[in-house]
């Protein structure tokens, strides 16, 4: 059983780590938290030139011909670097969704633009009750009489980088009767410059640019409707949850390494604190959690990449990674003590992002329910 990266994936991992270490220092991460745009546009274009945006797209759509698993190798390094910006919302939520659910014209229109870094996308899914279920979708999409377009009305919460996006995938209900609830749910490609689209930035613990988006009589042409139903939305959620797991594993790995290094160099009572058994056990527990989280997350990512059904494994991974990262961050703060809570220290950058990661694309209780259903 070979659980390691392929030679190409190992090269990608090393190249990504070297690049992000040089181009995305933690000083830049802090600057972007206070920046109105929220991401470095020069870095965004450099990543596009490296082929990262379209890594998992077929070559005939301008992509790199890679797999979902290849993209996950990249995302772990991005989590490690606390990379700011709309890469996740564009490449994972937007690009992979169009690749899986879009028709040929939609793929040819959008995927090359994403690969070139010339378009930013996002997903507008959650509503006021913050649940992931077809019954929670109250945003309506009413077909116009001629049948050439739809009119969308409603509001969405926690939409990442909506204020920067050129297009967003909006999940809406097309009719209330005559068809099943699941089949009435569809995905609509909405131009964010359309009349009737408005947004407000939300204040979040990670300063990660989530928005409330409102749709008031927004017209969407028929050619921008993706074949979906709730099964398509569930497929997006599954990939997004596993991708978020991988990103969180990268964050936890970095916190582990930071904590071990600090334990080696922090002198207390005339000796390094790492020489005390309690601190050694903290580090050991962190290492066990990081390794188990990585194994579960990558198993689910491999299954998705191979086209193997993995609803139970994906949800189990999200539950475990959520809880493991919570423990890793808590122990990291225990080891660092008061300095880890100061704004100038890197520890708080990771622990704040771990909070938002645990609730993204389903919290632990939601995914426990999914595992129970699968069983």
Looking at the chain, the domain(s) classified CATH 2.40.110.10 span 123-229
Residue where the block lists tokens 């569930």? 234
- Buried b / exposed e along 80-104 (16+ C-beta atoms within 10 A): bbbbbbbbbbbbbbbbbbbbebbee
Q: Which mean pLDDT values do the consecutive 10-residue runs of the chain (375 residues) have?
A: 88 97 95 88 95 96 96 97 96 97 96 97 93 92 89 96 96 77 92 96 91 97 90 95 98 98 94 95 98 97 95 97 98 96 94 96 96 94
pLDDT at 178: 57
Cα(206)–Cα(199) distance, rounded to whole angstroms? 19
User: How wide is the angle at C-alpha 192 spanned by C-alphas 248 and 353, nearest 5°?
Assistant: 15
DSSP state of 164: T
**Pick from 155, 254, 264: nearest CA to 211:** 155
pLDDT at 146: 82
- Is residue 280 a contact partner of residue 335, using CB atoms and an 8 Å limit? no
CATH: 2.40.110.10, 3.30.565.10, 3.40.50.720, 3.40.225.10. Which one for 123-229?
Answer: 2.40.110.10
Residue where the block lists tokens 């139970």? 312
- Is residue 159 a contact partner of residue 123, using CB atoms and an 8 Å limit? yes
pLDDT at 176: 60
- Is residue 173 a contact partner of residue 182, using CB atoms and an 8 Å limit? no
pLDDT at 35: 86
- Percentages helix, strand, coil for the chain (3-state, rounded to 5) are 55, 15, 30
pLDDT at 177: 55
Partners of 2 in beta bridges: none
Residue where the block lists tokens 């190798």? 73
- Is residue 327 a contact partner of residue 254, using CB atoms and an 8 Å limit? no
3-state secondary structure of 106: helix
Backbone dihedral angles phi then psi of residue 271, each to the nearest 5 degrees: -155, 160
Superfamily of domain 7-120: Acyl-CoA dehydrogenase/oxidase, N-terminal domain (1.10.540.10)
Looking at the chain, the domain(s) classified CATH 1.20.140.10 span 231-374
Assigned CATH topology for domain 231-374: Butyryl-CoA Dehydrogenase, subunit A; domain 3 (1.20.140)
Looking at the chain, the domain(s) classified CATH 1.10.540.10 span 7-120
What the block records as the tokens of 13 is 């991992």
Q: CA dist 199 to 84, 98, 154, Å? A: 20, 23, 12
Backbone dihedral angles phi then psi of residue 221, each to the nearest 5 degrees: -60, 150
């Amino acid at each position: 059983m070979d659980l390691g990266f392929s030679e190409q994936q190992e090269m990608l991992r090393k190249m990504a780590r070297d690049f992000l270490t040089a181009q995305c220092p933690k000083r830049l991460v802090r600057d972007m938290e206070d920046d109105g745009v929220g991401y470095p546009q020069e870095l965004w274009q450099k990543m596009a030139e490296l082929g990262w945006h379209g890594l998992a797209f077929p070559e005939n759509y301008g992509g790199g011909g890679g797999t979902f698993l290849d993209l996950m190798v990249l995302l772990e390094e991005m989590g490690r670097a606390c990379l700011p910006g709309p890469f996740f919302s564009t490449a994972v939520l937007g690009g992979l969704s169009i690749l899986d659910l879009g028709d040929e014209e939609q793929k040819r229109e959008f995927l090359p633009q994403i690969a070139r870094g010339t378009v930013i996308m996002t997903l507008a899914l959650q509503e006021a009750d913050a649940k992931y279920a077809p019954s929670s979708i109250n945003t309506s999409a009413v077909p116009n009489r001629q049948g050439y377009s739809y009119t969308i009305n409603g509001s969405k919460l926690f939409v990442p980088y909506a204020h920067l996006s050129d297009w967003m995938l909006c999940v809406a209900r097309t009719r209330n009767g005559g068809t099943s609830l699941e089949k009435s749910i569809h995905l609509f490609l909405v131009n964010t410059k359309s009349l009737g689209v408005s947004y407000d930035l939300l204040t979040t613990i990670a300063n990660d640019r989530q928005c409330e988006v409102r749709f008031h009589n927004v017209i969407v042409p028929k050619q921008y409707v993706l074949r979906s139903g709730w099964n398509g939305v569930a497929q997006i959620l599954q990939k997004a949850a596993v991708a978020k797991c991988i990103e969180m594993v990268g964050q936890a790995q970095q916190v582990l390494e930071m904590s071990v290094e600090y334990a080696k160099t922090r002198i207390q009572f005339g000796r390094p604190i790492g020489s005390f058994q309690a601190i050694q056990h903290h580090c050991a527990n962190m290492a066990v959690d990081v390794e188990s989280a990585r194994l579960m997350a990558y198993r689910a990512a491999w299954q998705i990449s191979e086209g193997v059904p993995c609803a139970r494994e994906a949800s189990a991974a999200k539950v475990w990674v959520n809880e493991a990262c919570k423990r890793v961050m808590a122990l990291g703060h225990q080891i660092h003590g008061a300095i880890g809570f100061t704004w100038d220290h890197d520890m708080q950058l990771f622990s704040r992002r771990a909070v938002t990661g645990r609730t993204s694309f389903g919290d632990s209780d939601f995914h426990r329910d999914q595992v129970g259903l699968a069983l």
